[in-house]
Amino acid sequence: MKALVTGADGFIGSHLVERLVRAGHQVRAMVLYDARGGEGWLEAIEPGVRNSIEVVAGDVRDADCAEAALAGCDTVLHLAALIGIPYSYRAPASYVDVNVTGSLNLLNAARRHGVRRFVQTSTSEVYGTARFVPITEAHPLAAQSPYAASKIGADQMALSYQAAFDVPVVVARPFNTYGPRQSARAVIPTVVAQIAAGPAILILAICVDFFLCKEPGF
């Protein structure tokens, strides 16, 4: 397939791009433009794989960028998002702009180009505090932060395009993803690092944002 991966410069996105290339797919990786021309975590991919990736800089908030990035692709793997729960309390409009409007721009482009699959990457945060475990898709949506609300909005927009316009949408909701290239401030890297250092007692105080705001492992 010819896949567009948005948010390809991030932790999960860079691994997804790498996996797709190794599986023999054509990949266009959309990264957020910065002044130094950086490519985020794509720069950590070995050159033999990196050289097979078509990298385009842009911003999902710009409809023209979304349209141009998607042209010629038959699959969209949409990971681009403004993340981080604590900041969403300070700048909620920014989260709506990136997460909801950005997703809408890509959905409109996907509809026009007739893609065969649109994967909307969501988050476990849409469920809020668990009312029962294990959480299933029948669990009520319960946003407890502007970030979570924006992700619910993006998911519902994607599902509405499936219902109204037959855009072939799949919503994926990762729970505490972890691995190489992840921020060390996430809870699982924090625990692993302390275990590796051999302390008698684990100290999780530096993960206060996680416990107060349920920061996902993005």
Give the start-to-end residue ranges of the domains of the chain: 2-178
Question: How many degrees, rounded to 5, is the angle at CA 12 between CA 9 and CA 15?
Answer: 80
Comparing CA positions, the residue from 84, 83, 74, 67 lying closest to residue 30 is 67
Determine the pLDDT at residue 205.
54
Q: From edge to edge, which strands make up the β-sheet containing 26-32?
A: 54-58, 26-32, 2-6, 75-78, 117-121, 169-172
147 among known catalytic residues: yes
- 180 token code pair: 């190489």
Half-sphere exposure of 93 (CA within 13 A, CB side): 0
Catalytic residue among 33, 87, 89, 147: 147
Determine the pLDDT at residue 180.
85
Q: Is the pTM of this model over 0.95?
A: no
Comparing CA positions, the residue from 207, 119, 109, 104 lying closest to residue 150 is 104
CATH architecture type of domain 2-178: 3-Layer(aba) Sandwich (3.40)
Determine the pLDDT at residue 108.
98
Each residue's pLDDT tens digit in the chain (218 positions)? Answer: 999 999 999 999 999 999 999 999 999 999 999 888 899 999 999 999 999 999 999 999 999 999 999 999 999 999 999 998 999 999 999 999 999 999 999 999 999 999 999 999 999 999 999 999 999 999 999 999 999 999 999 999 999 999 999 999 999 999 888 888 877 777 788 888 888 888 667 776 543 343 344 443 33
